[in-house]
Amino acid sequence: MLKDKRTRLFFILGGFFLANTLIAEFVGVKIFSLESTLGFKPFNWSILGVDGLGFSLTAGVVLWPIVFVMTDVINEYFGKSGVKYLSYFAVAVILYAFAMVYFAMYLEPNAWWDTESGLLNEPKISQMNNAFKAIFGQGLWIIIGSLVAFLVGQLVDVIVFQKIRSWTGEKSVWLRATGSTLVSQFIDSYIVLIIAFYIGADWDLVMVLAIGTVNYIYKFAMAILLTPLIYLAHHLIDSYLGKSLAEELKLEATK
């Protein structure tokens, strides 16, 4: 089975897709300032009457654009069924990972590890077990919001991608890839915040929508900037498969 190029390609693309999805979920607990990271003074925008807004984003947004690029590449060669299969599988893997992490959180810590905290040359941290729980113990509503937003975004992406493809044929790769990402990321940006913070934490809806707008501005820009990556992926995959097999897969993906 592994001698078949299309099988190996699906394993490779699926592996990177799952890895980026899982990592994005766990690093998403960190909030960072995009402006400060790039050496700029933080913005002070006012959106929907909410002041002091800037690009304070979860670390997960660094990886999510890669996930949606992978989605479009998989959609190109393996169609809707390939994307849906990997999306459902990713949700199952993420749920399993969170279950195992929560299990690990409630294991009784060793006394010296919890109080002396200095692994290798790292700084000492008191109450290491509480730090472990704080980092990995994301709230239930955040997990639910993230998974629902991911799954809905994936399904919307694959539908819009194939619809644009039916209009343009094999031309305009950038249009179906970037266009589907822009639509799906718009939905994703608001669903996760509405579930996690409007429903789960009773935040004001205007605040949630304002923050979602800032997040979407970032995702919109990243979708445009990563468009050349789509063409690079197509070139590498076509070279690996050969022209005949690549065209065969793309044709099957449209059915």
Q: Is the pLDDT of residue 125 over 70?
A: no
What type of residue sits at position 79?
Answer: G
Integer CA distances (angstroms), 91 to 2, 141, 152, 161, in order = 25, 15, 11, 21
User: Which pTM value belongs to this model?
Assistant: 0.84
Dist CA 177 CA 94 (whole Å): 25
Dist CA 159 CA 143 (whole Å): 25
Domain locations along the chain: 5-104+136-253
Element spanning 53, H or E = strand 50-53
Q: Is the pLDDT of residue 119 over 60?
A: no
Dist CA 213 CA 47 (whole Å): 8
Dist CA 164 CA 131 (whole Å): 47
Q: Is the pLDDT of residue 24 over 90?
A: no
35 pLDDT band (50/70/90 cuts)? confident
Helix, strand, coil proportions of the chain in percent (round to 5)?
75, 5, 20
Q: Is the pLDDT of residue 71 over 80?
A: yes
On whether the CB atoms of residues 194 and 145 are closer than 8 A, the answer is: yes
pLDDT number for residue 110: 81
Integer CA distances (angstroms), 140 to 34, 98, 102, 196, in order = 26, 10, 11, 8
182 burial level (CB within 10 Å; 0-12, 13-18, 19+): middle
Dist CA 24 CA 146 (whole Å): 10
Which CATH architecture describes the domain 5-104+136-253? Orthogonal Bundle (1.10)
Q: Is the pLDDT of residue 118 over 80?
A: no
Can you read off the two tokens belonging to residue 10?
Answer: 């699906």
Give which of 223, 162, 163, 164 is closest to 188, Cα–Cα.
223
Give residue-wise pLDDT tens across range 185-239: 899 889 988 998 888 878 889 988 988 898 888 888 888 888 888 889 989 999 9
85 pLDDT band (50/70/90 cuts)? very high
Can you read off the two tokens belonging to residue 84?
Answer: 């849906």
Q: Is 45 helix (H, G, I), strand (E, B) or coil?
A: strand
> What residue has token string 């992490």?
101
Give residue-wise pLDDT tens across range 156-188: 988 898 888 888 877 788 888 888 888 988 998
Give residue-wise pLDDT tens across range 50-67: 888 888 888 888 888 888
124 pLDDT band (50/70/90 cuts)? low
